[in-house]
Amino acid sequence: MGSQRKILLIFAACLALGAGLLVALSGGDEEPVVPVEVVTPGGVGSEIDLLDRVTRDEQELPTRQSEGEEPTEIFFPLELSLSLVEPAKRLMADGVGAHGSGARARLEGHLYGTDSKGVAGEVRFTSGANMGRVLKCDAGGGFGAHDLYPGLSIVKVSGPLIAGAEREVLLRNDRKSVLNIGFGRPAVVHGRVQDEAGEPIVGARITMDGQETYTDQEGTFYYPRMTSGQVLLIVEKDGYAAWREKYNVKAGANLSGDKLVYTLRPGARLELHIAESIGARQPAQVFLLPAAGARTSRDFPWHRYNPVSVYPGGTSTVEGLPPGNLQLYLFHAGARAKPRVSSVSLKAGRLTKTVLHLEPAPMLKGRVIKDGEPVSRALVRLEAPDQVQTTLSTFGQPAGFLEVGVFPNLPTSVQSTWSDPAGRFTFSSNEQATPTRYLTAEGPEGKTWAGEVVRRGQTEVDLVLKEIPPDDSVIEFQMEGRELALPIQVSVEGQPRMAVSLPADQDFRVEELAKGRWRVNARWNSQPLLRDVVIDLKDETALLIPLPEAAKSGGSALFNPARR
């Protein structure tokens, strides 16, 4: 392997194979799959939510295809899965989790076109704690990520050859959720919207799987082509409380209007006024939350309303809210709400006015610099070590709360902003929520980065940008005794990366990996070959995969449907 190679890790396994019979292994050894609720149809803090920033997920991922298909008798592919457990350079502080350690939920899935074949596209998180993340599909329609925050999220699916969709996914840390969407055999959907007296409501907006339409003079709506799945449907009309519901649409079904009838009730209006003009150059954020025990937690689209922007000293009015008791959480850079939580009772068909108050609070200030010069338009973030737990603590809710509604991480958990022309930034300190925080900055070109641990009592921190080291580490997979080309499928951090046919005389290399600790899994025909093997990857490391004889000589061809 040469002097540059690192330690060769040899893994030998005795695989018992019956004569000519392959037994597929599954069940108890596999991770539990979290069922995903699939549906049709913010607040990381401050102004950043309004900016259309390209994340690393949107950038082109390294993908290599074999130049030509190698002829082979081997039907089943070798499946390799690589997950980054801990980057070599990661912000860490004693007594708390490392930077980003709270994002351990996994999502994997495929998009299938009208011909039931995989199709390229993208999955964009539009609401929830992962808002802004974009997962790119490979040519076969596969996508995934292993570093997502748990809770309910809304994703928008799009692509050049598909109709698009908008679905809800339930994510849990250290668990895998699956989202597969097929665009073949669409359904026909008819529905009706009425008021409490049974009279049709004209002009109600219906959002179903991301498609919008309006009710006619009879209060009816119609979708000639609706993608199947558990879709999210939202009904809205001025003067009424919005309605949210999930409905399972079967492929090729024809749903009549008597099955989808929605009755809207008069909505409430809420006028929010912030008395103090602290930091009035940028808006404050108000999060609306149903009071404990309220029945409106799941049948109202809270993600469409939160957060409400209100300039200090100004007023904002929210329409179409459900009647009942609400809790109001007010956040503003350099200030805090007084009291921390406000309550209000809304009445159907009435306007309720409430006044919120701010008081000055400790601030964290600093500059972003590079080579001694200020850097403007750098993306700066102040994050709690455990964003999810901090959000739950702020809301005063148990862990399951984020599974019954779509809520972003609150500003007590993460704040984001751009540095100004002088390189300066300002955040609320929020050390009462968590005394240790992580402060990071990314240069406007995306090639530089800086990070610092912020502890209790610090009020000013300068961030010095440095070049991001390239992802140049390599894992070489060695497989002895192969006689035929071997199909291989690779995913890195849940993202499908390669699909190749490896010639018999070659080892397989996965390149452009970050330095750090990786977890490697390999299986063939459902048989685990490497299971949760953890390696410290610095430059280049080799792993020996103990292939079964059928994966070397082609015995699996007996199971190739094309040969039957």
- Note the pLDDT tens digit of each residue in 132-141: 999 999 988 9
| pLDDT on residue 409 | 83
| Domain identity same for 244 and 274 | no
| pLDDT on residue 27 | 34
Of the residues 336, 360, 384, the one at which a domain ends: 360
Q: Rounded to the nearest 5 degrees, what angle is found at the Cα of 244, between the Cα atoms of 242 and 250?
A: 140
Amino acid type, 167: R
DSSP state of 395: H
Please confirm whether the linkage preceding 307 is cis (ω < 30° from 0). Answer: yes
Residue owning tokens 């060695």: 478
The answer on pLDDT for 48 being more than 90 is no
Residue 425 included in any domain: yes
| Number of Cβ atoms within 10 Å of the Cβ of 256 | 12
pTM for the whole thing?
Answer: 0.82
Residue 90 included in any domain: no
Q: State mean pLDDT over 110-118.
A: 92
CB 84 within 8 A of CB 475: no
Q: Provide the strand spans (E) within 88-150.
A: 105-112, 122-127, 134-136, 142-148
Closest CA to 493 of 155, 158, 170, 142: 142
| Domain identity same for 490 and 463 | no
| Domain identity same for 483 and 454 | no
Residue 138, classed as helix, strand or coil, is: coil
| Domain identity same for 191 and 258 | yes
Residue 39 included in any domain: no
Residue 374 included in any domain: yes
* Domain encompassing residue 435: 363-467
| pLDDT on residue 34 | 38
| Number of Cβ atoms within 10 Å of the Cβ of 555 | 19
Q: Order of strands across the sheet with 284-290?
A: 308-310, 284-290, 324-332, 335-346, 358-360
CATH number assigned to the domain comprising residue 508: 2.60.40.10
The answer on pLDDT for 346 being more than 80 is yes
Residue 61, classed as helix, strand or coil, is: coil
pLDDT band at 32 (very low <50, low <70, confident <90, very high): very low
- Note the pLDDT tens digit of each residue in 475-522: 999 999 998 999 999 999 999 987 899 999 899 999 999 999 999 999
DSSP state of 240: B
Closest CA to 369 of 427, 415, 424: 424
SS (H, E, C) 448-462: EEEEEEECCCCCEEE
- Note the pLDDT tens digit of each residue in 165-191: 999 999 999 999 999 999 999 999 999
Q: Rounded to the nearest 5 degrees, what angle is found at the Cα of 219, between the Cα atoms of 216 and 221?
A: 65
| Domain identity same for 507 and 536 | yes
Residue 119 included in any domain: no
Q: Order of strands across the sheet with 122-127?
A: 134-136, 122-127, 151-158, 165-171
DSSP state of 31: P
Of the residues 321, 341, 360, the one at which a domain ends: 360
Rg of the chain over all Cα atoms, to the nearest angstrom: 27
Q: Which residues pair with 524 in a beta bridge?
A: 78, 527
The answer on pLDDT for 29 being more than 70 is no
| pLDDT on residue 407 | 84
Residue owning tokens 């570093």: 147
pLDDT band at 279 (very low <50, low <70, confident <90, very high): confident
Residue 163 included in any domain: no
- Note the pLDDT tens digit of each residue in 326-337: 999 999 988 999
The answer on pLDDT for 255 being more than 50 is yes
| Domain identity same for 368 and 445 | yes
- Name the burial class of residue 250, with classes exposed (0-12), middle (13-18) and buried (19+) by CB atoms within 10 angstroms of its CB: exposed
- Name the burial class of residue 536, with classes exposed (0-12), middle (13-18) and buried (19+) by CB atoms within 10 angstroms of its CB: middle
Which helix (H) or strand (E) segment holds residue 552: the answer is: helix 549-553
CATH number assigned to the domain comprising residue 257: 2.60.40.1120
Residue owning tokens 């015995």: 555
Residue 537 included in any domain: yes
Region of 8 please: left (phi>0), alpha (psi -120 to 50) or beta: beta
SS (H, E, C) 158-184: ECCCCCCEEEEEEECECCEEEEEEECC
Q: How many domains does the chain have?
A: 4
